[in-house]
Amino acid sequence: MSRAQLIDRSLVRDLVPFKGRRAARLVPRNPASGPMPWVIAIMIALTVMAAAAGLALGNLADRARTDLSGALTVQIVEANAKTRAALAKRAAEILVADPAVASLRVIPREELAEMLAPWIGSGNDEGEAVPIPALIDVQLANVADTAEIARLNALLLDEIPQARVDAQSDWLRPVYDALASLQYLALALIALLAFTSAGAVWLAARSSFNNHRKTVEIVHLLGGTDRQIAQVFQRSITIDALLGGAIGLILGVLAIGVIGSQFAAIDSGMVAGGNLRQLDWLVLAAIPLAGVLLAMLTARITVMSALKRML
């Protein structure tokens, strides 16, 4: 087959095989020689850390919500200690008889006194100066929604007007709100980092394009398509992004490991709820890949738009 026939065939089929290593030689590069892989590495490391923080906070909130979703606290607000104890016992009997209640526990007086000691001091015994309500910790079979709480409240009030029923999750609502705010902050940080990374890639692609403008013009005049030329730059940026992504992931995971071990030392039930799950690790591992895709896309858009300005 003659050269002309070979070229005709490729044109007819609209093949674009001018890519890979032989096309990459048009834009010579020395991996890791420029700042690009390191910029991407820092961005990816920060993104991994922000995402890990967001996921951990999400897990923490989920765990707390699950633990408290069916939990109620019944308070018996009565000044007289003996009457209060009797009412608490009666309230427990009424609740146990209700099919919605899975279990309950009347909090012992000593336990309450111990919990409140930091605020009201110890030695607050019977004949107390500060009356402490009796508390019953109730676990429902299902979620403690508003209707269920209202029903149980009404049930108790019929016999014990001093009773007050509260969902335990209500006590933690400000904490949930704070956790949600931190999650949004992490999300905003990730978006900002992605935006900054795209900006860095845009600058790098534009600079590389301008440095190789002469070569681009030659390839253009020899019949190279925008797609072919963009692929050359895309490949160069992709290699930088892969390198930077790998380094960034390692740095990010190391930082998570160090911070995780610090928190583990706190040995708190709530902090333990913030552990990363298997799926979370997969999400973190996908961040460098998303970074590479973002870099490729940005490089492509940058080069294609620059080429559009050429004839």
Partner 1 sequence: MTEGTGEIVTFDNVGLRYGTEPEVLRDLCFTLHPGLFYFLTGASGAGKTSLLKLLYLAQRPSRGAIRMFGKDTITLPREQLPAFRRKLGVVFQDFRLVEHLSAFDNVALPLRVAGVREADLAKPVADMLEWVGLAQRMDAVPATMSGGEQQRVAIARAVIGRPDLLIADEPTGNVDPDMALKLLQLFERLNRLGTTVIVATHDIHLLRQVPDSLIMRLQKGQLLDPTGALRFPPRPAPRPAQREGEA
Q: Which residues bind partner 1 (CB under 8 A)?
A: 1-4, 6-7, 10-11, 13, 15-18, 22-23, 25-26, 28, 214-215, 217-226, 228, 308, 311
The residue among 10 and 268 lying less far from partner 1, judged by its C-beta, is 10
Identify whether the C-beta of residue 58 lies closer than 8 Å to the C-beta of residue 215. no
Smallest distance from partner 1 to CB 179, Å: 52
Smallest distance from partner 1 to CB 56, Å: 49
CA atoms within 13 A on the CB side of 44: 33
The residue among 178 and 310 lying less far from partner 1, judged by its C-beta, is 310
Smallest distance from partner 1 to CB 224, Å: 5
Strand ranges (DSSP E) for 158-235? 163-167
Report the distance separating Cα 266 and Cα 279, nearest Å.
24
The residue among 67 and 226 lying less far from partner 1, judged by its C-beta, is 226
Identify whether the C-beta of residue 213 lies closer than 8 Å to the C-beta of residue 188. no
Smallest distance from partner 1 to CB 205, Å: 19
Reference 249, options 29, 105, 40; nearest CA is 40
Tokens representing 259 are 């911070």
The residue among 135 and 303 lying less far from partner 1, judged by its C-beta, is 303
The residue among 124 and 305 lying less far from partner 1, judged by its C-beta, is 305
Smallest distance from partner 1 to CB 239, Å: 17
Report the distance separating Cα 125 and Cα 119, nearest Å.
15
Smallest distance from partner 1 to CB 304, Å: 11
The residue among 134 and 219 lying less far from partner 1, judged by its C-beta, is 219
**Is the Cα torsion angle 214, 216, 219, 222 positive or negative in sign?**
negative
Report the distance separating Cα 35 and Cα 31, nearest Å.
10
Tokens representing 75 are 């308070």
